């Protein structure tokens, strides 16, 4: 039986959705706080998570970021009542499966759940306890994430940290170059669009300084001329946004392994 996790601070909504989805043959687990939701996600590894964005203490975006760090491909449907455009955009950047606005019929929600339940089943991730960052083996390699979006930056820091990489993040190119001068990281994950000093200019500066580590570029741009100029500066990989975390992890591993070779 497919397990669905519902995380919504409105108990009435939880009860309603649990009743409806149970009638459709799903096993439903509910909770009314983000922290409890993360614990249940780790414990039950649900096939689908229904997540309210607006919750006290730990909001839905924070929960979604933590879920992505645990399982980059877990189907998550956002219950977006009252969400701002910025919140909706941030949720979509974290690759939500669907976005259901309040007030739509329950039939639409049930159809979205049915669609998500038919997605290819991935092997369940190993449950990650809250203190996993301290229990995972340290690879001995460290990564610098350069991105002005705090949500994306924090997601990548936690995602890579859970996999044994010592990871820090900075929000602009000037700070990135300062860090590199003080202690060059093994790998830099660099957003191309940054305030002030662009990622392209950072990469130029790194090449002039003969930075010995690897560089992975992130960009939401499809400008072929700009991408060709970036490739000419010798990054190991260029990944499009929104970032597919599985692909990013593969790129990180390949870059670091090839660097060792």
Q: What is the dihedral of CA 150, 156, 160, 161, to 10 degrees?
A: 20
Q: Which CATH class is domain 3-117?
A: alpha beta
> pLDDT tens digits, residue range 41-55?
999 999 999 999 888
pLDDT at position 132 = 44
Domain ranges within the chain, ordered by starting residue: 3-117, 134-260
DSSP 219-237: E----HHHHHHHHHT--SE
Quote the pLDDT of residue 25: 94
- What is d(CA 258, CA 54) in angstroms, rounded to the nearest whole number? 43
* Mean per-residue pLDDT, 252-259: 84
Lowest mean pLDDT among 2-6, 16-20, 109-113, 148-152: 148-152
- Homologous superfamily (CATH) of 134-260 is Response regulator (3.40.50.2300)
* Mean pLDDT, residues 104-129: 74
Q: Which residue has the higher pLDDT, 104 or 148?
A: 148
Taking the C-alpha atoms of residue 86 and residue 99, their distance in angstroms, rounded to an integer, is 14
The three-state secondary structure class of 170 is strand
Nearest to 30 by CA among 9, 2, 1, 54: 9
How far is 145 from 190, CA to CA, in rounded Å?
6
Tell me whether the CATH fold assigned to 3-117 matches the one assigned to 134-260: yes
Tell if the pTM clears 0.75, that is, is over it. Answer: no
Q: Is the peptide bond before 50 cis (omega within 30 degrees of 0)?
A: no
């Amino acid at each position: 039986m497919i397990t669905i996790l519902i995380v919504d601070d409105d108990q009435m909504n939880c009860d309603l959705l649990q009743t409806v989805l149970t009638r459709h043959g799903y096993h439903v687990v509910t909770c009314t706080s983000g922290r409890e939701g993360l614990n249940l996600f780790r414990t039950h590894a649900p096939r689908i998570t229904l997540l309210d964005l607006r919750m006290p203490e730990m909001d839905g975006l924070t929960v979604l970021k933590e879920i992505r760090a645990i399982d980059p491909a877990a189907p998550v449907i956002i219950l977006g009542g009252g969400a701002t455009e910025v919140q909706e955009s941030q949720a979509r950047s974290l690759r939500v499966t669907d976005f259901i606005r309040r007030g739509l019929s329950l039939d639409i929600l049930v159809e979205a759940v049915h669609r998500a339940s038919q997605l290819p089943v991935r092997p369940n991730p190993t449950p990650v306890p809250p203190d996993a960052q301290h229990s995972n083996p340290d690879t001995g390699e460290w990564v610098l994430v350069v991105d002005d979006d705090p949500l994306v930056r924090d997601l990548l820091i936690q995602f890579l940290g859970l996999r044994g990489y010592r990871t820090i993040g900075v929000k602009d190119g000037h700070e990135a170059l300062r860090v590199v001068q003080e202690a060059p990281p093994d790998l830099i994950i660099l957003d191309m669009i940054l305030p002030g000093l662009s990622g392209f200019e950072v990469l130029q500066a790194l090449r002039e300084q003969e930075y010995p580590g690897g560089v992975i570029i992130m960009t939401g741009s499809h400008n072929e001329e700009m991408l060709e100029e970036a490739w000419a500066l010798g990054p190991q990989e260029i990944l499009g946004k929104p970032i597919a975390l599985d692909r990013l992890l593969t790129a990180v591993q390949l870059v670091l392994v090839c660097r060792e070779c």
